[in-house]
Amino acid sequence: QVTGPAATVAAFSVTVFLTEQTNKITTADGKVDTVKRKAGEVAWGTPLTHSEENIGNAPFEALMIEIKN
């Protein structure tokens, strides 16, 4: 399990999940959510500050593309 430091994504983004993922995400206001993704899924993201913890059994890979104005 790997926990990343708090990160701020300042732009809208599109993420393509290359492998399966199970993550615990904690937002700046303390809200905790568990997110499961399958390989090949695509997700739209909005700007936010959060930390993530990989709670799955394996590393995961994803490609995140930030949308610039």
| pTM tops 0.85, yes or no | no
Q: How far apart are CA 52 and CA 23, in angstroms?
A: 6
Q: How far apart are CA 44 and CA 14, in angstroms?
A: 5
**pLDDT value, residue 22:** 96
**pLDDT value, residue 10:** 75
**pLDDT value, residue 4:** 61
Q: Which of 44, 37, 39 is nearest to 64 (CA)?
A: 44
**pLDDT value, residue 5:** 62
pLDDT tens, residue order, the chain (69 aa): 555 667 777 789 999 999 999 999 998 899 999 999 999 999 999 988 889 899 999 999 999 999 987
